[in-house]
Amino acid sequence: MQKISGKSVQNGTAIGKIKVYTKIGTPVKRIHVNNAVAEILRVEKAVNQAIMDLQNLYKIAVNGAGEDSAAIFEVHQMMLEDEDYNDSIRNIIEHENVNAEFAVARTNEIFSDIFASMEDEYMKARAIDIKDISNRLIHILTGEEENILSDLKEKVILIADDLTPSETVQLEKSMILAFVTVHGSLTSHTAILARTMNIPALISVPIENINELDGKIGIIDGKEAVLYIEPDDNTIEFYEKAVLEEEVQKKLLLELRGKPTVTSDGKEIHLCANVGNIGDIAFAQSNDADGIGLFRSEFIYLGSKDYPTEEEQFQMYKQALQLMEKKKVIIRTCDIGADKQVDYFCMDKEENPALGYRAIRICLDRVDFFKTQLRALFRAAVFGSLSIMYPMIISLDEVKRIKEIVSEVQTELETSGIPYAKHVEQGIMIETPAAALISDELAREVDFFSVGTNDLTQYTLAIDRQNGKLDSLYDKHHRAILSLIKMAADNAHANGKWIGICGELGSDLELTKTFLDMGIDELSVSPGMILKVRKRIMEL
């Protein structure tokens, strides 16, 4: 028996035969050509075909994993249309008189190396996206079929050197028990897709001689981030019991749908869902969310090629409210910046983007942009129970300036005779130590707090949460973080305001009791965690 440790992308247990995924295709050869123009035309035709393929992949991903996860294929389309990328291919063909396949392969090496050499972990992970679009073009140019494992006859544990987003989304999920990759990162789009698909997965597993594993029996322990190869009888027996227990737990959780989230002594907690777009609301509803505790409006901007108009945003917010009927929907204003960059925002490169020009700082600097979103929000609020939440607050002056801009927007709507909701609940995120420390003053100016524990953790501990080298220091249960949350909760309640948690810690079952003891009024978690958290609360 061999035991190999890696990093867990998605918890869960799987036992089954291993299938090794190997990418087909012969190495691209350098061939001298006499007609460079013809080769450039071949590339242009291949790019158009690739974009059509990606549009089909987007539809598949939306149906299988939601719009949030499918967005990567829109990003890949934009990358295929990138001038620098295409200019590189054309220049290599023209200056070296080589075949289109070689020019694409050479451009892939150049751009992949650029991304891979970057210090930022998120940007490093984009190297796989460059490889994905380049391989797609080469497949089209050579006429080779992609090996998507669509003809599997039995359920398997899929092991690969790496998996691109398009490979992952096209897998027949009903035949995949789990997957393991030798490379990859926790912030890659593949990891995001794995979590959305709810498939147990490990990455960064140092497997040698990967092809020798094909057909062998394997076990994935997602919780402990371990892969077992050819396990002994005792190990198999232990994990077979774990698989059965997980199935029983899934069935028991389904019985909690429709039940109130109340502790055994009668304390009720609002249990809501975090979503990235309209498509995710179906997941929230199927898991019986009490409402939407965090609607990440920045994904509207990430999925657009230009600033979304007021009307486009209004229609999206209106649809979200109508889908949730009378349940509360808390929409966070645009939180672009840090690891969420948008080209058309034309922002300068920053040495420390997480500490830089982002979120409310952009909104208060680009007031017209901010007003466009606010107008759409106040107009949509007529159609349901909408609350607005402002991110990355560090001062009382920011809150007062926001209120001034809101007043201006309402006056503009009133003057124009456009229907809007005059009384909309407005709150702020507590995700900086500064906001927590002055939460007594802030509570007097807003209607509620929602704690963004991901950023609060990284700012309190001075640890970049995108940096995998610091994982051992990233202590989510650090007493300083819990003290700041407790301080914000006390100050909220002292001023008659409610407080929720919408960050990752909200779904940490080890802290559920701690948060209830603090008096936290609402927990907002990923849709797949709602029933698990409800079960935990009902046991307290």
Binding residues for phosphoenolpyruvate are 296, 332, 454-455, 465
What is the number of alpha carbons within 13 Å of residue 201 lying toward its C-beta? Answer: 28
Nearest partner of 517 among 492, 491, 482, judged by Cα: 482
For 326-340, b/e burial (b = at least 16 CB within 10 A) is ebbbbbbbbbbbbeb
Q: Could you tell me where the beta strands, DSSP code E, fall in 374-501?
A: 385-390, 425-430, 448-451, 498-501
As given in the structure block, the two tokens for residue 14 are 């799987």
For 437-462, b/e burial (b = at least 16 CB within 10 A) is bbbeebbeebbbbbbbbebbbbbbbe
Annotated active-site residue 32? The verdict is: no
Q: 3-state SS of the chain: helix, strand, coil percent to 5?
A: 50, 15, 30
Residues in the chain: 540
Task: Please tell me which residue in 189, 270, 272, 334 is annotated as part of the active site.
Answer: 189
365 contact partners, CB below 8 Å, separation of at least 6: 357
Annotated active-site residue 189? The verdict is: yes
For 411-431, b/e burial (b = at least 16 CB within 10 A) is eebeeeeeebbeebbbbbbbb
Element (H, E) at 283: helix 281-286
Looking at beta carbons, which pairs linking 104-108 to residues 24 or more positions away fall under 8 Å? 104/28, 104/43, 104/134, 104/137, 104/138, 104/141, 105/28, 105/134, 105/138, 107/134, 108/134, 108/135
Annotated binding site: which residue ranges?
296, 332, 431, 454-455, 465
Q: Could you tell me where the beta strands, DSSP code E, fall in 379-481?
A: 385-390, 425-430, 448-451
Q: Which residues belong to the active site? A: 189, 502
